[in-house]
């Protein structure tokens, strides 16, 4: 049996980009992922398909597993020879109880490794525009638990020392004890006028920040119903937020947007939106898969030299054709002969990345654009490898112009098994600003995932963004209100169109 090992990994403060390179490598390779409430669940998307995922989160006193049971779980599974990625929000050794888990593993004779992470006490204030040290304010700072071990008789916090002896104080998990924290600091000499910031869900698109002073912040927190997870930052550095606040000024900050692209393609679009500050709900409504039979495509590839035109209508068509070439021991030389046309810049880039040359990219990124620019096709042979079900406008119109058109299935689109509960909950809570559609099939598949009354509720509350007129037409048939549609039918242009929409005062 192989030797097991536990990796105590700091999952970072929440922003996916703040996981360490080492941490991500281990998430991708470990047998088991054991994760906490504060570890971004989207990190799990990088796990192996066969990895076992175990949630052991603790939220407001509600423990899925008590710490003692988590310790036992780690020991038991590592002794089975498993590699375990133990994901802990922030850093495992900064109020993460990683030290306790490490001690248990040592006592059991189990191998472990610590992978430090970016702690929220640094990252949260930074994303709120607050540097925890600054030459003009302070050169000292301290991290303090705002929620001590409830079994202890006395506090371990030396309030008389930290109140005036440390410039910046960052309290973790302390919002419920905020009145006591502020009272103790003022009692031991800290000025009531000292600036204080509360940073909730720091580094995440739903980050919230409140500013006050030691004498006012408890009342502000009560009025605003501030809840965990919230950091408390005390010190003059809080005054720098007015100058240095950058994250909350991103153009899509606070917007929650549903991305319906296929999972394999969603990450790039999601990343673009997240870089602009949006919170993304990935809800893939379409997946691509191989055709039920390769016979038609194999036959077309074998006779590719007999065609005058090879027309690619999507990146997927390019990808699956190349996949089939590799699987059958052939290469792109089989496609020498026909001139190549690609609908859309991304499709053209995918073709040219293989070494083939695209001679025509229509100005209009849909079938009608080809018809306007391809020229005389009378007597020409045209091959179109595409999805099993697609619009018939292009092949029909080419045939009307005298072309011999062979449409072959290079891939199929299917509806994935998606959980809609989270989407409906967010819609009903008024927490969804937009749903994005990148093809007609994403619209129809999205609609098909909901009951009629649920779909009506979504349509009534959420505006849509469409990548182009064909998709827009489908969305309107279902009753969606279209907020934006770019002039150029690309993800980049769609992202820009969404940004411009939300920049409007009425959005």
**Residues catalogued as catalytic:** 36, 58, 173
Quote the CA–CA distance of 198 and 170 in Å, as a whole number.
10
Q: Residue 7: helix, strand or coil by DSSP?
A: strand
> Which residues pair with residue 288 across a beta bridge?
413
Q: How far apart are CA 338 and CA 404, in angstroms?
A: 14
| Integer Cα distance of 322 and 410 in angstroms | 10
Q: Hey, what are 310's tokens?
A: 């090879």
Q: How many CA atoms lie within 13 A of 507 on its CB side?
A: 21
CA distance 235 to 125: 12
Identify the residue whose tokens are 């499709």: 347
- Half-sphere exposure for 90 (CA within 13 Å, toward CB): 22
Dihedral angle of Cα 260, 264, 265, 268, to the nearest 10 degrees: 110
Q: How far apart are CA 442 and CA 433, in angstroms?
A: 18
String of DSSP letters for 410-461:
EEEEE------HHHHHHHHTT---EEEESSHHHHHHHHHTS-HHHHHHHHHH
62 in helix, strand or coil? strand
Dihedral sign computed on CA atoms, order 354, 360, 365, 366: negative
The set of residues, in sequence order, having a beta carbon less than 8 Å from that of 194 and lying 6+ positions away, is 185, 213, 214, 234, 235, 236
Cβ(301)–Cβ(373) below 8 Å: no
């Amino acid at each position: 049996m192989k030797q097991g090992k536990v990796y105590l990994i700091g999952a970072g403060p929440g922003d996916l980009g703040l996981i360490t390179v080492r941490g991500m490598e281990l998430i991708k390779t470990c047998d088991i992922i054991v994760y906490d409430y504060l570890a971004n669940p989207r990190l799990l998307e990088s796990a192996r398909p066969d990895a076992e995922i175990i949630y052991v989160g603790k939220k407001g006193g509600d423990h899925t597993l008590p710490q003692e049971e988590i310790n036992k779980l780690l020991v038991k599974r590592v002794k089975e020879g498993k590699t375990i990625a133990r994901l802990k929000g922030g850093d495992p050794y900064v109020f993460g109880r990683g030290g306790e888990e490490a001690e248990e593993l040592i006592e059991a004779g189990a191998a472990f490794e610590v992978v430090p992470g970016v702690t929220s006490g640094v990252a949260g204030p930074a994303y709120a525009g607050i540097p925890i040290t600054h030459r003009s304010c302070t050169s000292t700072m301290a991290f303090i638990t705002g929620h001590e071990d409830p079994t202890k008789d006395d506090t371990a916090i030396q309030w008389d020392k930290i109140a005036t002896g440390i410039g910046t104080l960052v309290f973790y998990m302390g919002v419920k004890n905020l009145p006591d924290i502020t009272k103790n600091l003022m009692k031991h000499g800290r000025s009531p006028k000292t600036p204080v910031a509360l940073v909730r869900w720091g580094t995440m698109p739903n980050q919230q920040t409140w500013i006050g002073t030691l004498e006012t912040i408890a009342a502000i927190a009560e009025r605003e119903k501030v809840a965990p997870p919230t950091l408390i930052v005390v010190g003059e550095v809080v005054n720098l937020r007015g100058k240095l606040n950058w994250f909350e000024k991103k153009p899509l900050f606070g917007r929650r947007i549903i991305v319906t692209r296929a999972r394999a393609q969603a990450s790039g679009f999601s990343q673009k939106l997240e870089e602009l500050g949006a919170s993304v709900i990935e809800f893939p409504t379409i997946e691509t898969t191989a055709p039920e039979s390769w016979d038609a495509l194999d036959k077309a590839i074998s006779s590719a030299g007999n065609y005058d035109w090879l027309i690619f209508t999507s990146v997927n068509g390019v990808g699956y054709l190349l996949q089939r070439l590799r699987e059958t021991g052939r290469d792109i030389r089989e496609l020498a002969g026909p001139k190549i046309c690609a609908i859309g810049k991304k499709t053209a880039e995918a073709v040219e990345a293989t070494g083939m040359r695209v001679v025509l990219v229509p100005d209009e990124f849909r079938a009608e654009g080809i018809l306007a620019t391809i020229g005389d096709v009378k007597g020409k042979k045209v091959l179109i490898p595409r999805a099993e079900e697609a619009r018939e406008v292009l092949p029909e119109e080419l045939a009307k112009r005298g072309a011999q058109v062979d449409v072959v299935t290079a891939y199929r689109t299917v509806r994935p098994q998606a959980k809609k509960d989270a989407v409906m909950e967010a819609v009903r809570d008024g927490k969804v600003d937009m749903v994005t559609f990148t093809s007609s099939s994403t619209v129809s598949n999205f609609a098909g995932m909901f009951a009629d009354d649920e779909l009506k509720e979504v349509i009534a509350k959420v505006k849509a963004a469409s990548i182009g007129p064909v998709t827009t037409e489908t969305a309107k048939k279902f009753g969606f209100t279209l907020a934006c549609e770019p002039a150029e039918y690309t993800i980049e242009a769609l992202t820009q169109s969404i940004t411009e929409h939300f920049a409007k005062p009425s959005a």
